[in-house]
Structure 1
Amino acid sequence: MTDDELTGDLLRDLAPQVLGVLARRFGDFATAEDAVQEALLAAATQWPTDGVPDNPRGWLIQVAYRRMIEMVRSEQARRAREDLAARREPADRQRVPALDDQLTADRDDTLVVLLLCCHPALSPGSAIALTLRAVGGLSTAEIARAFLVPEATMAQRISRAKQRIRDSGTPLRMPEAADLPARLAAVRHVLYLIFTEGYVASAGDRLRRVDLAREAIRLARALHARLPDDTESAGLLALMLLTEARSAARTGASGELIPLAEQDRSRWDAGAIAEGVALVTWALPRGPLGPYQVQAAIAALHDEAPTAEQTDWPQILALYEVLEGLSASPVVTLNRAVALAMTHGPAAGLAVLDALDDDARLIGHHRLPAARAHLSEMAGDHARAAALYRTAAALTASLPEQRYLLMRAARLP
């Protein structure tokens, strides 16, 4: 890893901690987040030439603090900021604080900030954008590029998310014990969506977006580190590691998609697989059982198979049946149909897929015709399979997936 990458990782680790310090002191998450972004930009500009300071966290707090003071005291925002501070703080603290131990105390608010960014008042898209900026330390431009939208559009999305949090009146603190499981589930869902978009880009000419997948794993590590006894957070990290471990083998020399069964398994990341297997092995017996743990167990079975032919499909089928009981969805059913076909033959899997024809959640999605094409090809119905591959190709916005599906159709006799 280069010095620039190490500095970038350090800044991303520190960003939510610095944000927590300022947001707690000033009671204004939105403005504090803007100040922290400016501090991160200053660090990214100065540290490569001046060197990383001895106390990088304290440096960022100082710079963000000074910028926050400028914002609070500005003519445009002074009255609104002072009124907000007056409402949120007792009379003996209604002043701008000095930069002392109160601000530089070694308190880590990463988990609290993460929970706030995944507030239930936010849509998934807004929560993803705000999480990547406030907790991930990514700039608005970087997030916009990752999701193929104009920077102005992403800036508006982030601004609206911060306004919703401000309007909700939610303070920067841990949720009540009764609310915590649901809030943590929302955090895991947002991190999973970030990873999924990174691992299989939903649109564009690239199969994956490495920066998003990497950032999702980093955030999942941070969540697991702060909740080491939470089995479902461990399961989420395991799932990401076990899936990402195959990334080097997923594309060919020209960027073409290579399906799991045809991948060169010697190119898989053995270290990531070992770590993921260890995590899911630790989590499963402790309970409670959750969907990410089950998905990680399925991924582990794929990763531990020496060849595609040696994959333990009956065990994978059994796990998909468990997953349907925990978190039923048409995508889970579709995956169970494939596992059923690999265990009991394509006709059994196709029968399950037929039951999904009327599910509105899959209408217009390429997954169903692609799966049906695969199972029809297994059954020897090549004409039907070719037509279904072409149908699926027309429905996906991912150019690598589109090219792969058309290639599958063209290869059939």
Structure 2
Amino acid sequence: MSLDEKYFNEFIRKENVRITTILCKVYGFEKIDLIEDAVQEAIVAAFQSWKLRGLPENPEGWIYKVAKNKIINLINKEKHRQRILEKNKSIFPSDYLLEAKWETERKSIDDSLLQMLFVVSHPLIPVDYQSAMALKILLGFSVSEIAEVFFSNVETIQKRLYRGKQIIIEKKIPIAFPDQMNFSERIDSVLKILYLLFSKGYYSNQVENLFRKDLMQESLRLTILLSENERCRNANVLALIALICFHCSRLESRLSDEGQILSWLRQNKNLWDQTMVSKGKEYLTNSLNFGNQIYSDYQLEALIALLHTEDESKKKWEDLLILYSKLYDLNQNPSVNLNRIYAMSCVFGNPTARVELEKTNSLGKNLFVDLLWAKLWKEEDEIRAKQFLDSALNLSNSINERKMILANWANL
């Protein structure tokens, strides 16, 4: 079979993550730089070989075996080779062949991925480092791709990755599930990272890309993987899956033919993925069946996202106002408060919402505050509304975002 480059790129991103994780588990995280070098060499070797000879019968086994041999060769060049091999021989004997055991090892590979997820989201690691490391180690993103996601530069991301790795090595954080006493707290840290990665995909800072499907889809994949492990499955994990499903169901309708982001009201609802909506409902139902007396942030956000997959109605906005109010009471997030006030305008009218917005100054000079003011004044005072609109446009850092604002303004 000839080499399809799109297939190769997708295959490599997935297997890069799996191989790196397993080799880190075997040889220790302190070897991660050597391991990443070995995996990259294996990828180059695969591309060169498969381009000439076509795909081997077992591509996963082929590249894993090459990566394993390359890391052993690199370790051979280090001073303490014998001690390292002796320490690991019971775990990774020299005659271990992935080809023979790949399917039976698949569950342990997934466990290793989850254990690495717990490592990179460890509370000793700053959140900025956590998210960069998750993208690099668990999603296979390059340093330049990570810099784009965080609207940063390569040097800054390299420093975060280096310092994050050093913390793991210095603090001897094991690639393992946390003990039962700390499990709940650590799951929360993992979910915050997955939620952050999803959010970065759903509304990106990038100058020309206002959302990234790859980030959203990978966040969904990892969260589903988390839910499939009995130790990790809980109400919040299932609610986060539902939340991502509901948002992903509308991905194909979010862009106009001209490449502009469309507001919910302007989207072609025929393009919404009802299979994804149904999947989200299933996960949300299972989450709510855990019997929590008070809804969590994730459950409330999922319920809100579910309502946004339904047709426009007064009842819908009444329900949204209740949910946004509960969510704001829970987390006091200023952005949630803006959504609450928007819902209030849909239920009680603009004058009532303006009184409520006047009470909040927690966001200061902010694009979304100005947009909400513009919306709340448009019917009664178009000149004042236009002033707020111009202010919002000046605060935007993206051409596509400004086009989206103007297009949505015309359809309000």
Contact kept? 2:143, 2:158, Cα under 8 Å: yes
1:295 alignment partner AA: E
2:250 alignment partner AA: R
Shift of 1:172: 0.9
1:294 aligned onto 2:289: no
1:36 aligned onto 2:39: yes
1:337 aligned onto 2:328: no
Contact kept? 1:33, 1:134, Cα under 8 Å: no
Partner of 2:387: 387
- Deviates most, 131-140 or 9-18: 9-18
How has the CA–CA distance of structure 1 residues 226 and 17 changed in structure 2, closer, same or farther, with 3 Å as cutoff? Answer: farther
- Deviates most, 138-147 or 286-295: 138-147
1:398 aligned onto 2:402: no
| Alignment map for 1:68-147 (pairs within 5 Å) | 68-74=71-77, 78-79=78-79, 98-101=93-96, 106=105, 107-108=108-109, 109-147=112-150
Contact kept? 1:198, 1:209, Cα under 8 Å: yes
Match of 2:392, SS state, is: helix
Partner of 1:328: 332
Instruction: Tell me how far apart the structure 2 counterparts of residues 168 and 381 of structure 1 sit (CA, whole Å).
Output: 60
TM-score, normalised with respect to structure 2? 0.84
1:399 alignment partner AA: I
Contact kept? 2:195, 2:240, Cα under 8 Å: yes
Instruction: Tell me how far apart the structure 2 counterparts of residues 50 and 292 of structure 1 sit (CA, whole Å).
Output: 49
2:115 alignment partner AA: V
| Alignment map for 1:7-26 (pairs within 5 Å) | 7-26=8-27
| Equivalent position to 2:62, from 59, 62, 82 | 59
Instruction: Tell me how far apart the structure 2 counterparts of residues 186 and 231 of structure 1 sit (CA, whole Å).
Output: 15
Instruction: Tell me how far apart the structure 1 counterparts of residues 326 and 97 of structure 2 sit (CA, whole Å).
Output: 49
Instruction: Tell me how far apart the structure 1 counterparts of residues 289 and 124 of structure 2 sit (CA, whole Å).
Output: 34
- Deviates most, 219-228 or 315-324: 219-228
2:219 alignment partner AA: A
1:160 aligned onto 2:155: no
1:303 aligned onto 2:304: no
Partner of 2:202: 199
- Cα deviations by residue, 1:333-384 (Å, 9 ceiling, x for unpaired): 1111111221122223223322221x1xx2343122112222222x522222
Match of 2:228, SS state, is: helix
| Superposition RMSD in Å | 3.2
Contact kept? 1:291, 1:327, Cα under 8 Å: yes
1:252 aligned onto 2:256: yes
2:269 alignment partner AA: R
Partner of 1:350: 354
Shift of 1:201: 1.6
- Deviates most, 41-50 or 211-220: 41-50
Partner of 1:224: 227
Instruction: Tell me how far apart the structure 1 counterparts of residues 318 and 411 of structure 2 sit (CA, whole Å).
Output: 29
1:19 alignment partner AA: T
Partner of 1:236: 240
Contact kept? 1:251, 1:257, Cα under 8 Å: yes
Contact kept? 1:301, 1:311, Cα under 8 Å: no
- Deviates most, 385-394 or 16-25: 16-25
1:314 aligned onto 2:318: yes
Partner of 2:373: 372
Instruction: Tell me how far apart the structure 2 counterparts of residues 163 and 199 of structure 1 sit (CA, whole Å).
Output: 31
Match of 2:173, SS state, is: coil
- Deviates most, 136-145 or 390-399: 136-145
Shift of 1:45: 5.3
Instruction: Tell me how far apart the structure 1 counterparts of residues 403 and 342 of structure 2 sit (CA, whole Å).
Output: 22
Q: Which runs of 5+ in 2 are unaligned?
A: none
1:231 alignment partner AA: A
Instruction: Tell me how far apart the structure 2 counterparts of residues 3 and 221 of structure 1 sit (CA, whole Å).
Output: 28
Match of 2:308, SS state, is: helix
2:388 alignment partner AA: L
- Deviates most, 317-326 or 272-281: 317-326
Contact kept? 2:15, 2:60, Cα under 8 Å: yes
- Cα deviations by residue, 1:36-63 (Å, 9 ceiling, x for unpaired): 3443454455456645544444333322
Contact kept? 2:254, 2:262, Cα under 8 Å: yes
Match of 1:138, SS state, is: coil
How has the CA–CA distance of structure 1 residues 266 and 183 changed in structure 2, closer, same or farther, with 3 Å as cutoff? Answer: same
- Deviates most, 159-168 or 385-394: 159-168
Instruction: Tell me how far apart the structure 1 counterparts of residues 339 and 254 of structure 2 sit (CA, whole Å).
Output: 19
Instruction: Tell me how far apart the structure 2 counterparts of residues 232 and 130 of structure 1 sit (CA, whole Å).
Output: 23
- Cα deviations by residue, 1:143-175 (Å, 9 ceiling, x for unpaired): 344445444443333222212221221011111
Instruction: Tell me how far apart the structure 2 counterparts of residues 48 and 269 of structure 1 sit (CA, whole Å).
Output: 36
Match of 1:356, SS state, is: coil
How has the CA–CA distance of structure 1 residues 311 and 15 changed in structure 2, closer, same or farther, with 3 Å as cutoff? Answer: farther
Match of 1:292, SS state, is: helix
TM-score, normalised with respect to structure 1? 0.84
Match of 2:290, SS state, is: coil
- Cα deviations by residue, 1:114-161 (Å, 9 ceiling, x for unpaired): 111222233333222211221112333433444454444433332222
Instruction: Tell me how far apart the structure 1 counterparts of residues 51 and 297 of structure 2 sit (CA, whole Å).
Output: 42
Contact kept? 1:198, 1:211, Cα under 8 Å: yes
Matched length:
397
Shift of 1:303: 0.2
Instruction: Tell me how far apart the structure 1 counterparts of residues 369 and 177 of structure 2 sit (CA, whole Å).
Output: 41
Contact kept? 1:232, 1:292, Cα under 8 Å: yes
How has the CA–CA distance of structure 1 residues 332 and 149 changed in structure 2, closer, same or farther, with 3 Å as cutoff? Answer: closer
Contact kept? 2:314, 2:347, Cα under 8 Å: no
Over the matched positions of the two proteins, sequence identity in percent amounts to 27
Instruction: Tell me how far apart the structure 1 counterparts of residues 325 and 301 of structure 2 sit (CA, whole Å).
Output: 11
1:340 alignment partner AA: M
How has the CA–CA distance of structure 1 residues 24 and 229 changed in structure 2, closer, same or farther, with 3 Å as cutoff? Answer: closer
Instruction: Tell me how far apart the structure 2 counterparts of residues 325 and 49 of structure 1 sit (CA, whole Å).
Output: 61
- Deviates most, 27-36 or 168-177: 27-36
